[in-house]
């Protein structure tokens, strides 16, 4: 999947459209998509599932960010 699609997932998450963001993220197996997927499950409150996806995100950790907005912004920056 290209970076533009992943950026759309981040933007959807930033707007509160969890379902759209999740669908885009789960259709990709890159480390960035897995990071997005991890954050989405963090938003959802599913820590176990979130931790699983962080484990596949290329080194990002559940506790790296306490602010979801800041983490989504960091993902967006990594895609630009």
> What is the per-residue pLDDT for 1?
66
pTM confidence score: 0.95
pLDDT for residue 66 is more than 70: yes
Across the range 59-71, mean pLDDT stands at 97
How far, in Å, CA of 73 to CA of 13, rounded? Answer: 10
pLDDT (tens digit, 9 = 90+) per residue, 16-62? 999 999 999 999 999 999 999 999 999 999 999 999 999 999 999 99
* pLDDT at 37 (0 to 100): 97
φ, ψ for residue 68, nearest 5 deg: -60, -40
Q: Rounded to an integer, what distance in angstroms lies between the CA atom of residue 8 and that of residue 62?
A: 22
SS3 65: coil
Q: Where do the domains of the chain lie, and which CATH numbers do they carry?
A: 3-79 (1.25.40)
**The pLDDT of residue 65 is above 80:** yes
């Amino acid at each position: 999947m290209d970076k533009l699609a992943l950026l759309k997932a981040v933007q959807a998450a930033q707007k509160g459209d969890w379902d759209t963001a999740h669908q885009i993220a789960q259709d990709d197996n890159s480390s960035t998509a897995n990071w997005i997927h991890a954050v989405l499950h963090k938003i959802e409150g599913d820590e176990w599932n979130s931790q699983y996806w962080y484990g596949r995100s290329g080194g990002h950790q559940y506790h790296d960010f306490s602010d979801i907005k800041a983490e989504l912004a960091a993902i967006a920056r990594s895609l630009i």
